Structures are given as structure tokens and as C-alpha cells.
Amino acid sequence: MTRRLQSGKIPISVLDRTVLRLTGAPSPYVVTPPRAGLDFAAVRLSRGYMIISADPITGVTPRIGEYAIKVSANDVATSGNRPQFAESVILLPEGSSEDSVSEIASEMDGAARELGMAIVGGHTEVTPGLTRPIVVVTVIAFAERYVSSMNAGPGDTIMMTKTAGIEGTAVLASASGHMGLPSETVSGAKRLLRSLSIVDEAVAANRTGLVHGMHDCTEGGLLGAVYEMSLASGLGFELCEDKVPLAPETSVICRKFSVDPLRLIGSGSLLLAVERGGERRVEKALASVCRVTTVGEFNRGRRILVKKGGAREVVKDAPEDELWRLLARVPRGRRRL
């Protein structure tokens, strides 16, 4: 019997045996072949590179168009370059109205204008069997150079921008029906969506020349991003839990739902591998953009999460995202995402 897969990202071991081995005809122009832990592909052009990435939004409905543009733009931005173009695939449940199409398209338009991107095409349809919309966005940039998550080096400092669990905090606040949460926590959590883009900080950090690689903190949260970056670079790490900054709203909501914020989907936070000794210059470069914090180090050893209190946990695999784990406990008829 074949293995039944859980909701969320396909396990890396399964990807390695299937998707990542079945990549079509070889091309001499592909300079970053498909690999676990990479945010984008780079294709060599006659001059420079095309940076390209695609992402689906499947777990949320409110402001799904904004999510789709910003999350996909984030992947390309981890190259250190501004995203320029987008194409979308919008799949709608049966019974959807013209107003719902217009709302999603308007959200996408606003987010793309905010980031200076042009939407150049795509496909939209009503799809049988769906219970909520799915939006998939492909983003492209043209660049002279780039960094990637496979270029972290031993001794590099692990830094992160903003706080952990940004996207998950906002989603849980919106989906919970508030469930006794203080009103100021709910409103503050929803405001975190304003921090969903990492484009400005990625470009500013890359300009220092001290960042060897970047990765966005999406499914699996900060811990998942560190694990994937270490895997792509063939390294170990030490991540210090007590150094990871949390928004007050994240702390309250994670306690309420017994959620680990380090494993909670974290779009809006950027992970950086910074040359040792360059931390202060990176902090200065990002001072007018966002907060940046040192949380660990890449090394040639094991992958270790240093827990509060000093206990050391070996991280053997990419973590399951807490949002999917939480949803698995909620009957389908009561899910509000």
C-alpha cells in the first residue's frame, strides 16, 4: 500500500523520490535545478538571469488575492532582487459570483501595485469539488546576480527579520471566531498582515554584500525555514529558541491554541545567512525597514534547536506546520479558514 499523505507540504523524502527526480528535459540554461529548500529557480539568459517561483494559497479565504501576490513575490525576493511580473491561476468553487472574482482580482491588483509588479496574464475558472478558492501565482524577475538558500556557509550567523509566526498569527485570529481572545489581540494579529511582504528587507540586506543566502519563513515556520536552508546548503545549525522574537499577539494566540510559534507558518519574516562579523552592518542596513535579530548559527555539525532552559533537541526532519496540525483537530464543518 502506498503512503497516505497528510495536509500541507509533501515530506522532503517523498519529494526526493518523486517530483524532484521527474523534471523533464535537461537544459544547460537552468543554473539552480529543483531542490528541497530552494525558494526559486534561476535560468541563465544571454545577459543575467531570470528568477522564477510559484506558490499556491490554499488555507485562507479572506484577502486571498493579496496573500497570493505577496507570498509568491517573497520567494523571488529571497534572491535579493525585486519581483517584476506575475501570472495567476484563480480556481473558484461552484456557485461563486462575479463579485468574488472581482474582489480577488482587486486584491491582487492592489498588492502588485504596492510592490511595483505587473500582472501579465493567467487563467481563471470555476472548478468542481472545491470548497474555497485556490489562487496560484507565478512571479518573475530579471537580475544580473542573485543569492540563494543553498549558499549559506559554516560559521554564518542566522538572522531573522520581524517576528516568528506572523502569517499564522493573523490566520488563527481570523479563523478562530475569536474564542475568548482579547479584542486588542485579535485586531493586533490582523494588523500583522501589513508585514507580510519581505521584498524591501531582502533587497536592502542583499545590498550589503554580506548576506550569503536568504529563505522565507513559510510553512513549517522559522524552524522549517532554518531546516530547509541547512538542507539546501548541506549544513547543520544551532537555533536558539530564547532569542527568537515574538509579537505579543503571537504569544497570546499560541498559548491559547497550544501552538509552537517556531513551527507556525511565518510569511513576512525573512531568514538570512550572514557572514560572521557582518551582523551590525546588516542591522544598520535594515534599521529603517524592519527589526532584525540574531537567532543562531550554521555549522558543520548536527541540526540542533536549543530550547529555553538549555535542552538540545536534534531536528531530524522538516517540521509539520502547526496550522495544519491544528486544523486536523477541527471537524471540517467547523473550519473557518
- For residue 36, report the phi and psi dihedrals to the nearest 5 degrees: -60, 135
Of 330 and 130, more confident: 130
Question: Given this model, what pLDDT does residue 179 score?
Answer: 66
Question: Given this model, what pLDDT does residue 335 score?
Answer: 39
Question: Given this model, what pLDDT does residue 177 score?
Answer: 58
What digits encode the pLDDT tens for the residues 280-333? 999 999 999 999 999 999 999 999 999 999 999 999 998 989 987 876 665 443
CB atoms under 10 Å from CB of 80, counted, come to: 23
Round the average pLDDT of the chain to a whole number and report it.
91
Task: Give the C-alpha separation, 205 to 275, whole Å.
Answer: 12
CB atoms under 10 Å from CB of 202, counted, come to: 29
What digits encode the pLDDT tens for the residues 5-32? 877 778 888 888 888 888 999 999 999 9
Task: Give the C-alpha separation, 144 to 75, whole Å.
Answer: 17
Asked if the model's pLDDT at residue 278 lies above 80, the reply is yes
Q: What percent of the chain has pLDDT over 90?
A: 73
The x, y and z cell numbers of residue 271, run together, are 531568514
Q: How confident is the model at residue 1 (pLDDT cuts 50, 70, 90)?
A: low
What digits encode the pLDDT tens for the residues 32-79? 988 888 889 999 999 999 999 999 988 677 789 999 999 999 999 999
Q: How far apart are the first and last CA of the chain?
A: 32
CB atoms under 10 Å from CB of 263, counted, come to: 24
Reduce the DSSP state of residue 28 to 3 states and report it: coil
H or E segment and range at residue 136: strand 134-143
| Order of strands, sheet of 211-216, starting from the edge strand that comes earlier in the sequence | 211-216, 270-274, 157-161, 292-299, 236-240, 303-306, 312-314
The x, y and z cell numbers of residue 76, run together, are 523571488
Please report the domains of the chain, with CATH numbers, ordered by start residue: 12-18+27-143 (3.30.1330.10), 149-334 (3.90.650.10)
Characterise 165 by phi-psi region: left (phi > 0), alpha (psi -120 to 50), beta (else). Answer: left
Reduce the DSSP state of residue 208 to 3 states and report it: coil
Nearest 5°: CA angle at 44, between 42 and 45?
130
- Residue pointed to by grid coordinates 532552559: 309
Question: Given this model, what pLDDT does residue 166 score?
Answer: 94
Q: Which of 59-73, 78-92, 152-166, 274-288 has the lowest mean pLDDT?
A: 59-73
Question: Chain centroid to CA 128: how far?
Answer: 28
The x, y and z cell numbers of residue 291, run together, are 527589526
Q: How confident is the model at residue 222 (pLDDT cuts 50, 70, 90)?
A: very high
| DSSP category for residue 112 | H
Asked if the model's pLDDT at residue 197 lies above 50, the reply is yes
Nearest 5°: CA angle at 308, between 158 and 246?
60
Question: Given this model, what pLDDT does residue 178 score?
Answer: 54
Environment class of residue 12 by beta-carbon count within 10 Å: exposed (0-12), middle (13-18) or buried (19+)?
middle
Contacts of 41 (CB under 8 A, 6+ apart): 30, 32, 33, 34, 51, 52, 53
Task: Give the C-alpha separation, 221 to 122, whole Å.
Answer: 29
Contacts of 209 (CB under 8 A, 6+ apart): none
Question: Given this model, what pLDDT does residue 331 score?
Answer: 43
Question: Chain centroid to CA 81: how far?
Answer: 16
Q: Which of 5, 15, 59, 12 is nearest to 324 (CA)?
A: 59
Reduce the DSSP state of residue 129 to 3 states and report it: coil
